[in-house]
A and B are shown apart, each in its own frame.
Chain A
């Protein structure tokens, strides 16, 4: 029976065959999500650049803006991490340096993303 199975089916979940396209799709989905979010960011930019503390806080504390800001920050760090990961895979040929860099990039992206979200939540709930 097993010799009639598709070779691809046998290969599934072994090595790259199990997850080869996952990264690619994640990158595209986050890219599509970022299109409207970046347009929002540009608008935010025109409001926030040069604004004083009271103005910037009041603007970002609005539920709609806080929500968009959180979505943008999460999507941007996620998409950025995926992209930097591929650049490291392609250009760093020293295995140990590659793994070290991947870990570092993951930690920085996660920490900075979390710090950003917490900052936005603090601003949103304190008003």
Chain B
């Protein structure tokens, strides 16, 4: 018996458990749901880069040039593009969640359609922004 999961002790009858993640088939909707969390973590980590950039800018031309050189590295550029994609995804999927919170568009066809819209918008806008930047 695992003391960290007291619900197992409390379960005295043989009621069915809801399927756990490991055996639940990954679907469009559930994949997007977990992606919302992953992109949230990515964005939080990236905010530290925003802080580094701001502090370097406030620190004067020399510290800023150094940071700018580091950020211009091809690997960092790829990470920044990924961060932008995460940003747009989290933005649009967040709006989708807010619409659900208001009790709207909760049926499965709408959820599937809005999933496509969110992913499509995120990809298109990332390409647009970096098309302007590069």
Which residues of A approach B to under 8 Å, CB–CB?
A: 28, 31-32, 34-35, 38, 41-42, 45-46, 49-50, 52-54, 56-57, 60, 69, 73, 76-77, 80-81, 83-84, 87, 93, 108, 112-113, 115-116, 118-120, 122-123
Contact of A115 among B40, B51, B61 (CB under 8 A): B51
> How many angstroms from the CA of A116 to the CA of B55 in the assembled complex?
7
Task: Give the chain B neighbours of A53 by CB distance below 8 A.
Answer: 57, 60-61, 64-65
The residues of B that contact A35 with a CB separation of less than 8 Å are 91, 94-95
| Shortest beta-carbon distance from B4 to chain A in Å | 5
Given A84-B40, A120-B54: A49 in contact with B133 (beta carbons within 8 A) = yes
In contact, A80 and B91 (Cβ under 8 angstroms): no
- A36, B88: Cα distance in complex, Å: 12
A102–chain B nearest beta-carbon distance, Å? 14
Chain B residues positioned under 8 Å from A38 (CB to CB): 87, 91
Q: Which of B32-50 contact A (CB under 8 A)?
A: 37, 40-41, 43-44, 47-48, 50
Q: Which residues of chain A are within 8 angstroms of B60 by Cβ–Cβ distance?
A: 53
Q: With A and B bound together, what is the CA distance between A93 and B6 in angstroms?
A: 12
**B56: min CB distance to chain A, Å:** 8
Asked if B17 lies at the interface with its beta carbon under 8 angstroms from chain A, I say no
**What is the predominant secondary structure among interface residues of chain B facing chain A?**
helix
Nearest opposing residue in chain B for A31, CB measure? B94
Is B57's CB under 8 angstroms from A84's CB?
A: no
B129 and A46 within 8 A (CB): yes
Chain B residues contacting A115 (CB-CB under 8 Å) are 51, 54-55
A108 to B48, CA, bound (A): 9
Contacts of A112 in B (CB 8 A): 47-48, 51
